[in-house]
Structure 1
Amino acid sequence: MTERPTIAPLLEAVDRYFTLMYDNDVSQFDRVFAPTAQLHGFRDAELRILPVRDYRTMLASTASPKSKNAPRLQEILLVDLASSAQAMVKVRVRIDALQYVDYLAYHCINRTWLITAKSFHVERRHEPASTS
């Protein structure tokens, strides 16, 4: 009988992703993304392609949702384990005013689950709360 891979370390990796998206703490970036990762998605009707190093720079230079006391939304919508070393995770996450649905390709590299590809979709743009 084949052993089924444990999902707990993968879920911990997804939690690290959610935390990074909220606090922008790039000191933890290498525990979330593989150095060869690519990001793809449409923003303002144009396909954006970002190498992971550019994404890291962008996070480091942007005020975090945490620093703005922005609402936090994060949910795992799907986990698909292809093997003990490869998985696809679909998540919903709010980053400041934008709510995304992300497809995260994970590979277990040196016993650590890392994102090797991220495909993002802007699902919703939240309006700022009125101050009346």
Structure 2
Amino acid sequence: MTENPILAPLLEAVERYFTLMYDNDVSHFDRVFAPSAQLHGFRDAELRILLASDYRKMLASTPSPKSKCAPCLQEVLLVDLASPTQAVVKVRVRIDTLQYLDYLSYHRIHDAWLITAKSFHVERRY
């Protein structure tokens, strides 16, 4: 399945997302999220809406799951390629004490798959 010339680079982009969620190394942020990306989801019964720039600041100011030796859970559940330049990827990822179910909208921008929208759901608290 990863022999598809479109799919392999997309899955590499998903791996970059997983790495960023675990190590909070924002020096790689621009290789994961488009500058115009928005994040939406409910957390603590409130709809949160974040711009990519705000999310970057949040990651930079928060201790990473890696620094806390938190368990790592990262699963790709669905890949839906709409075209050679657009896809949706459903993932499950644990970030410290929260397990999320994320829908990541990707667009291929200047030959790089970047997240342009993230819809998240807190699936479980540890």
Q: TM-score, normalised by structure 1?
A: 0.92
The separation in 2 between residues aligned to 1:6 and 1:44, in whole angstroms, is: 37
Q: Distance in 2 between matches of 1:90 and 1:118?
A: 10
Matched, 1:25 2:25: yes
3-state secondary structure, aligned to 2:114 = strand
Q: CA deviation at 1:5?
A: 5.4
> 8 Å contact 1:81–1:87 — kept in the other structure?
yes
Equivalent pairs counted in the alignment come to 123
Give the ranges of 4+ consecutive aligned residues of structure 1 lying more than 3 Å apart after TM superposition: none
Match for residue 114 of structure 1? 114
RMSD (CA atoms): 0.8
SS of residue paired to 2:6: coil
Alignment of 1:9 with 2:9, yes or no, is: yes
Give the AA of the match of 1:15.
Answer: E
Query: Aligned partners of 2:5 and 2:95: how far apart in 1?
Result: 31
The two structures have a TM-score, normalised by structure 2, of 0.96
1:98 maps onto 2:98 in alignment = yes
1:53 and 1:111 map into 2 onto residues whose CA distance is 22
Unmatched runs of 5 consecutive residues or more in structure 1: 127-132
Say if 2:75 is the partner of 1:75.
yes
Task: Provide, for residues 77-98 of structure 1, a one-character-per-residue CA deviation record: whole Å limited to 9, x for no partner.
Answer: 0000000000000000000000
* Amino-acid identity (%): 80
The question of whether the paired residues in 2 share the 8 Å contact of 1:26 and 1:60 is answered with: yes
CA distance in 2, matches of 1:6, 1:46: 36
* Letter matched to residue 81 of structure 2: L
How much does 1:6 deviate? 2.3
1:49 aligns to 2:49 (yes or no): yes
Give the match's secondary structure for 1:36. strand
* 1:5–1:84 CA contact under 8 A, matched in 2: no
